[in-house]
Amino acid sequence: MLLNRIKDSVDVQLRDQQAGFRNDRLCTDQIAALRIIMEQSTEWNSSLYINFIDYGKAFDIVNRTTLRKLLRYCGVPENIVNILLNSYDGLN
The residue segments making up the domain with residue 69 are 2-86
Condensed to tens digits (0 to 9), the pLDDT of residues 30-83 reads 889 899 999 999 999 998 888 776 666 666 677 888 988 988 888 888 888 888
Question: Does residue 34 sit within a domain?
Answer: yes
pTM value is 0.46
Task: Return d(Cα 79, Cα 30) in angstroms, integer.
Answer: 35
Question: Does residue 92 sit within a domain?
Answer: no
27 HSE (CA, 13 A, CB side): 1
Question: Does residue 19 sit within a domain?
Answer: yes
Question: Does residue 15 sit within a domain?
Answer: yes
Q: How many domains does the chain have?
A: 1
Task: Return d(Cα 28, Cα 74) in angstroms, integer.
Answer: 29
